[in-house]
Amino acid sequence: MTELHQLPASIAAKKIQANELKSEDLIRSCIERIREREPITQAWVETNFDLAIQRAKYLDRSTNLGILHGIPFGAKDLFDTHDFPTRLGSAIYENNHPNSDATHIALMRQAGGVLLGKTVTTEFATFKGGKTTNPHNPEYTPGGSSSGSAAAVADDMIPLATGSQTAGSVIRPAAFCGVVGYKPTYGKVSLGGVKSLSPSLDTLGSFTRTVSDAALCVAAMSGDTQLATINKIKKKPRIATCLTYDGELASAETITAIHHAALLAEDIFKTKAPAIQLPTIFKDMSALQGRIMWSESARSFSFEQNNHSEQLSQQLKGLIKMGSAISYEQYSNDLIVAEKARATIDQLLTESWDILIAPSAIGEATKGLTQTGDPIFCRVWTLMGLPCITLPLYTGPNQLPVGVQLVAARGRDALLLSVADALMQA
Amino acid sequence: MTELHQLPASIAAKKIQANELKSEDLIRSCIERIREREPITQAWVETNFDLAIQRAKYLDRSTNLGILHGIPFGAKDLFDTHDFPTRLGSAIYENNHPNSDATHIALMRQAGGVLLGKTVTTEFATFKGGKTTNPHNPEYTPGGSSSGSAAAVADDMIPLATGSQTAGSVIRPAAFCGVVGYKPTYGKVSLGGVKSLSPSLDTLGSFTRTVSDAALCVAAMSGDTQLATINKIKKKPRIATCLTYDGELASAETITAIHHAALLAEDIFKTKAPAIQLPTIFKDMSALQGRIMWSESARSFSFEQNNHSEQLSQQLKGLIKMGSAISYEQYSNDLIVAEKARATIDQLLTESWDILIAPSAIGEATKGLTQTGDPIFCRVWTLMGLPCITLPLYTGPNQLPVGVQLVAARGRDALLLSVADALMQA
């Protein structure tokens, strides 16, 4: 029997609206699950169960506030909250108590969502792993940087959690933990109240167990409430697989997953899903993404570097140094090349293809907690600002999840969700 | 004789580097000027003279940190600072003490700049005027929303100040106060640590008394240090005047100013500067800018609206209500139209023209302090993300400054500064 904490948010929300379920009962079930599993999974930096129950009781008495009425969620501890500390995965911000909520959190609360707590992020959403373990096997990384959000949702602690991606920080942990990770089109969700890393790349997204919930979560985060309704597909989508120029890094399980996903899509949509390669301008795009990311991040960490250098990890200090060494001229040129590539992919993804099926990560989660894995298969899509979703469709040799990533043209989030939903249902 | 507080930053910086001037003396002169004029001009929310002098003394003993070594500056009180409260022009944030600096402030300090204090912003950088008066006549508005930054620089209290523009909040107050206001290309300066209003539009910029100082200030704010050096113009620039589709709102003094600026440009560059009209897609662009701004701002103020509604002004509450009433579909369509217009203006400003001469505001500053004037002549350029600079070239019938705005293609900030500098020198 499905327990309350296992319910998808979209179903729970309907039940709450129909007076068939109390928010308080749903949230108590989630709390119980957290108490049971948190000693192993370690997904949370801070929770406030009393506050959540109090809020749930209020919502159970009040009229419907919006699409998340009574639904619990978690937020990455990189995002400002007025009632929880915001530590950004760094001792520098141990006592950081913002006076407001990040825009997307305020919008989720406005829609009736109940913030249960803050989830673990790696150090400033970069690469140094935190305490969180992979719910499928605690010896393996949950991925990062949105480690706690991915793990909490995978472990049925909460149905919805928010995260951010600058390279691969939504898609990779979602793939490693076996949940749906959705990074909408760049700019879709406000970055207000979010620690800035690389403003040209930073994008907020969701962790959920179903595609409907991904749609619901980002609908609330962005204020685009219509996105919550997944449309029926009217026209046969043109689907291709694409390993990018980094394809040789993909593990056998990832190659197999892409192959199976293509067959599945062909079967569902009665179409061919051929393998394509990106235009040659994309050859160096992953390296270019890295340079833009660290050139901008080096500037974004200027305050921490100049005032709290001793509390930054050696790893992050090395990356900041590397970023600082990139000339502004190189950075400007990289931005221009990226914009050209964006025009190219916009054309390719409107004129020739609707959806690309691509790897979410190199393979299964890697062993150990100090590193969170390689974001290589997300770099290009993040730089292009395209909407991406990873689906937990397969399992690898270590019995860990293997995700498959779907990518669409900028702004075509609704289509992406429709195709993703069809694949997940099948 | 020029007093120290009247020195342009670019000249003072060279003198400090050559050991001909002490930062401490420069800053003491600025402090004296502030003490003298602040009772009338009211440009500051908070200053810390002891801290500034202490920092100046340190810099006078230390090796050169960067292009702003020993130079005092002010920052709009919309930007996070770890050593000053950040009140955002609202009683809601009376006790707001962030734990870090906004990215651009951290970069200015890293380059050796000395933050003297926080300057007055209107309520959340919107329209409700603050206490600041126009240094040319205290019965008139300094413009807004970056009121204090514009007035402090105009009143020779500091050579550099930073501000933000979502509609016309850099260009308009600079024009009203008779200083150089420079809004660089959208995205040039990081928005990290800045209260988000309308993420598609928000842009940081500078207030200075010379074009060289504008280049210096934004070079430090952005990390693009090469921008500080104004290039000689190699190729005759193609210049046109453009009143936009809102031209009929321009006052007589503004029309005269544009006319004179065109003659001046024709004389300097031995070229013709004809009047042009924008393509028809720009007809509704000002209204479109307003809709995008308030649709996004309504979401950005979700936290304040839901938690501190009683502390928001009636005026702002009205605008939030108006923004909330704009459907997401309308907003999405507006974004698409804006992107089309952006492609059109990019083409126009690379293929046909290098620089457009345009109004900075309707006319001189208006009387009274409750309103800060109309941003109408900035809306289109802000929405297009173009670099803009206003030059204090003329005076109107009330003996108040009248600015002239120059506009260039996205990313062509260096060219804009070169042409602006030539006009200011002449």
- Residue A80, chain B, CB below 8 Å: the answer is no
pLDDT class of B7 with cuts at 50, 70, 90: very high
Give the pLDDT confidence of A138-169 residue by residue, as tens digits.
Answer: 999 999 999 999 999 999 999 999 999 999 99
How many distinct structural domains can be found in chain B? 2
Q: What is the pLDDT of residue A129?
A: 85
Statement: residue B1 has pLDDT above 80? no
Are the beta carbons of A226 and B329 separated by less than 8 Å? yes
Selected catalytic residue, list B23, B29, B76, B128: B76
B105 lies in the same domain as B246 = no
Residues B57 and B181 in one domain: yes
Which residue in the list A146, A169, A212, A286 is annotated as catalytic?
A: A169
Mean pLDDT in residue range A124-128: 92
Q: Which of B99, B226, B411 lies closest to A96 in CB terms?
A: B99
Would you say residue A1 has pLDDT above 80?
Answer: no
Q: Which two three-digit tokens encode residue A115? A: 């913030």
Mean confidence (pLDDT) of chain A: 97
CATH no. for residue B261?
3.40.190
Contact B103 A303 (CB under 8 A): yes
Q: At residue A216, does pLDDT exceed 80?
A: yes
Q: What does the pLDDT look like over B103-113, one tens digit per residue?
A: 999 999 999 99
pLDDT at B128: 86
Confidence of residue A257 (pLDDT cuts 50, 70, 90): very high
Q: Judge whether B11 lies within some domain.
A: yes
Residue A156, Ramachandran bin (φ over 0: left; ψ between -120 and 50: alpha; else beta): left
The confidence band for B146, taking pLDDT boundaries of 50, 70 and 90, is: very high
Q: Are residues B280 and B398 in the same domain?
A: yes
Going by pLDDT thresholds of 50, 70 and 90, the confidence category of residue B365 is very high
Residue A200: pLDDT over 90: yes
pLDDT, tens digit (0-9, with 9 covering 90-100), for B165-193: 999 999 999 999 999 999 999 999 999 99
Q: What is the mean pLDDT of residues B209-213?
A: 98
In our burial notation (b when 16+ CB lie closer than 10 A, e otherwise), range A211-245 reads bbbbbbbbbbbbbbeebbebeeeeeebebbbbbbb
pLDDT of amino acid B407: 98
Tell me what ipTM this predicted complex has. 0.97
Inter-residue contact A142 to A44 (CB < 8 Å): no
B186, part of any domain? yes
Residue B127 predicted with pLDDT over 90: no
Looking at the structure, tell me whether residues B153 and B55 fall in a common domain: yes
Do B115 and B248 fall within a single domain?
no
For chain A, give the percent of residues with pLDDT over 90: 98
CA B116 to mean position of chain CA atoms: 18
Task: Considering only the beta carbons, identify the residue of A109, A195, A306 that sits closest to B106.
Answer: A306
Residue-wise pLDDT tens digits, A328-339: 999 999 999 999
Q: Distance (Å, rounded) from C-alpha B57 to C-alpha B1? A: 25
CB contact under 8 A, B193 and A196: yes
Tell me, yes or no, if A232 is annotated catalytic: no
pLDDT in tens, A368-402: 998 899 999 999 999 999 999 999 999 999 999 99
Concerning whether B169 is annotated as a catalytic residue, the answer is yes
The strand pair at A401-407 and B203-208 is best described as unpaired
The mean per-residue pLDDT over the stretch B234-250 comes to 97
Cβ atoms of residues B79 and B102 within 8 Å: yes
Q: How confident is the model at residue B307 (pLDDT cuts 50, 70, 90)?
A: very high
Considering the domain boundaries, does residue B305 fall inside one? Answer: no
A327 in active site: no
Q: What is the mean pLDDT of residues B351-378?
A: 96
Query: Which candidate from A192, A299, A307 shows the least CB-CB separation from B107?
Result: A299
CA distance B109 to chain A (A): 9
Answer whether residue B302 is part of any domain: no
Beta-carbon contacts of residue A300 (< 8 Å; ≥ 6 apart): A195, A196, A197, A198, A199, B103, B190, B192
- Find the CATH number of the domain harbouring A96: 3.90.1300.10
* CB A143 within 8 Å of CB A373: yes
The answer on B159 and B18 residing in a single domain is yes
How many Cβ pairs within 8 Å bridge chains A and B? Answer: 94
Instruction: Give the percent of chain B with pLDDT over 70.
Output: 100
For residue B103, give the nearest of A101, A191, A300 by CB distance.
Answer: A300
SS3 B114: strand
Domain range for B378 is 239-284+328-425
Concatenated DSSP letters of B21-47: S-HHHHHHHHHHHHHHHHHHH--EEEE
Closest residue in B to A200 (Cα–Cα)? B187
Angstroms from B21 CA to nearest CA on chain A? 26
Q: Is residue A250 part of a domain?
A: no
pLDDT at B343 over 90: yes
Residue B306, number of CB atoms within 10 A of its CB: 14
- At A302 the pLDDT is 98
pLDDT of residue B248: 97
Residue A22 has pLDDT above 90, yes or no: yes
Q: Does residue B308 lie within any of the structural domains?
A: no
Residues B56 and B198 in one domain: yes
Segment B398-426 shows an average pLDDT of 97
